[in-house]
């Protein structure tokens, strides 16, 4: 399929949710239940997603062969918004050798002994690879902001813990993303935007369904009490760090089939824009290939 057609095909799933500037950004302008006016049955959506994932697998092969660009996909969300499932479905066809998923949990003692970006920066993807951050340095301005006692564990010099600390951290994050993008890392950020009502429904399902009990965590319900604090921390983070070079996508997450389509489309679009091709074979390489053929054909 020509590149132009692919881009046209995916744009409608991406553009309404892409945020490239924080100016005037308000989370409440984005509806978690939005499905872009599409009424698709689950089967048709799964088919489309499979095509997107297949396409991505082809592109990833070229990304790897080129060894120039890399892709950093950042997933942030409230609990039960579907980060894990989205990662699983969108990346289903991609060669695991060219792809790394990092899930960030509470930091270890070693991590706490370093600057706050240390543990994330060292996991940025190598050239030609796709890196996925399941949670990321954004936790440092989300959970740490909502529960400020966590900041005390970071052992910062007191003179560097002022009232501007969150703006300063957000500026540091924006700088890191500028730096990465100038290094050839395509940074795409996804906020899976779940409604409070749908979260409750999903938690209840985890309680009701024995096979889902393992997914339930009492601490998730405790975090729900801080819903509004998280929403405003997300809003401020997106405002301070949405740029054309490292855009946010506020993905409607109440319908899983739709959020997966949006994420897959955004990735396909970004990679398509790189206009990748397999590296050209130069004259010297052609000679080597011909010689190898002669040698192989000469074998008894």
**89 touches ligand ATP (CB under 6 A):** no
Question: Closest distance between ligand ATP and the C-beta of residue 191, in Å?
Answer: 14
**143 touches ligand ATP (CB under 6 A):** yes
Q: Nearest CA to 178 among 120, 242, 246?
A: 246
- Residues 113, 128: Cα–Cα separation, whole Å: 31
Chosen residue from 144, 176, 180, 268 binding ligand ATP by CB under 6 A: 144
Task: Closer to ligand ATP by CB, 106 or 164: give it.
Answer: 106
**148 touches ligand ATP (CB under 6 A):** no
**104 touches ligand ATP (CB under 6 A):** yes
Question: Closest distance between ligand ATP and the C-beta of residue 93, in Å?
Answer: 22
In the structure encoding, which two tokens stand for residue 192, read together? 């899976």
Task: Closer to Mg ion by CB, 61 or 79: give it.
Answer: 79
Question: Closest distance between ligand ATP and the C-beta of residue 224, in Å?
Answer: 12
* Beta-carbon contacts of residue 223 (< 8 Å; ≥ 6 apart): 78, 79, 230
| 263: Cα separation from own chain's centroid | 8
* Beta-carbon contacts of residue 138 (< 8 Å; ≥ 6 apart): 74, 76, 173, 189, 237
Question: Closest distance between ligand ATP and the C-beta of residue 121, in Å?
Answer: 13
Task: Closer to Mg ion by CB, 46 or 143: give it.
Answer: 143
- Give 33-37's long-range contacts (Cβ < 8 A, gap of 24+): 33/195, 33/198, 33/252, 33/254, 33/255, 34/252, 34/258, 35/252, 35/255, 35/258, 36/12, 36/258
**107 touches ligand ATP (CB under 6 A):** yes
Task: Closer to ligand ATP by CB, 52 or 82: give it.
Answer: 82
Task: Closer to Mg ion by CB, 104 or 118: give it.
Answer: 104
Question: Closest distance between Mg ion and the C-beta of residue 201, in Å?
Answer: 17
Question: Between residue 71 and residue 90, which ones bind Mg ion under the rule CB under 5 A?
Answer: 79
Answer yes or no: are the C-beta atoms of 100 and 130 closer than 8 Å: yes
């Amino acid at each position: 399929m020509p590149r132009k057609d692919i881009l046209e095909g995916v744009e409608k799933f991406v553009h309404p949710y892409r945020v490239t500037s924080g100016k005037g950004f308000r989370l409440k302008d984005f509806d978690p239940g939005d499905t872009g006016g599409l009424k698709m049955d689950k089967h048709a959506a799964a088919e489309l997603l499979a095509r997107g994932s297949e396409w991505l697998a082809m592109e990833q092969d070229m990304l790897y062969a080129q060894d120039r660009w890399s892709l950093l996909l950042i997933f942030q969300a409230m609990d039960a918004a579907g980060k894990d499932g989205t990662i699983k479905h969108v990346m289903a066809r991609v060669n695991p050798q060219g792809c790394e998923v990092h899930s960030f949990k509470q930091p270890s003692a070693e991590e706490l002994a370093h600057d706050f970006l240390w543990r994330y920066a060292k996991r940025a993807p190598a050239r030609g690879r796709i890196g996925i951050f399941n949670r990321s340095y954004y936790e440092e301005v989300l959970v740490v902001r909502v529960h400020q006692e966590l900041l005390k564990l970071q052992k910062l010099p007191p003179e560097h813990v002022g009232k501007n600390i969150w703006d300063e951290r957000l500026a540091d994050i924006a700088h890191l993303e500028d730096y990465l993008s100038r290094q050839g890392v395509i940074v795409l950020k996804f906020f899976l935007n779940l409604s409070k009502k749908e979260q409750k429904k999903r938690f209840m399902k985890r309680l009701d369904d024995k096979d889902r009990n393992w997914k339930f965590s009492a601490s998730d319900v405790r975090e729900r009490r801080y819903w509004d604090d998280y929403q405003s921390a997300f809003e401020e983070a997106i405002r301070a760090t949405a740029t054309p070079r490292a855009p946010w996508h506020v993905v409607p997450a109440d319908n899983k089939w739709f959020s997966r389509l949006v994420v897959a489309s955004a990735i396909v679009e970004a990679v398509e824009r790189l206009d990748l091709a397999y590296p050209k074979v130069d004259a010297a390489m052609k000679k080597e290939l011909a010689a190898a053929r002669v040698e192989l054909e000469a074998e008894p």
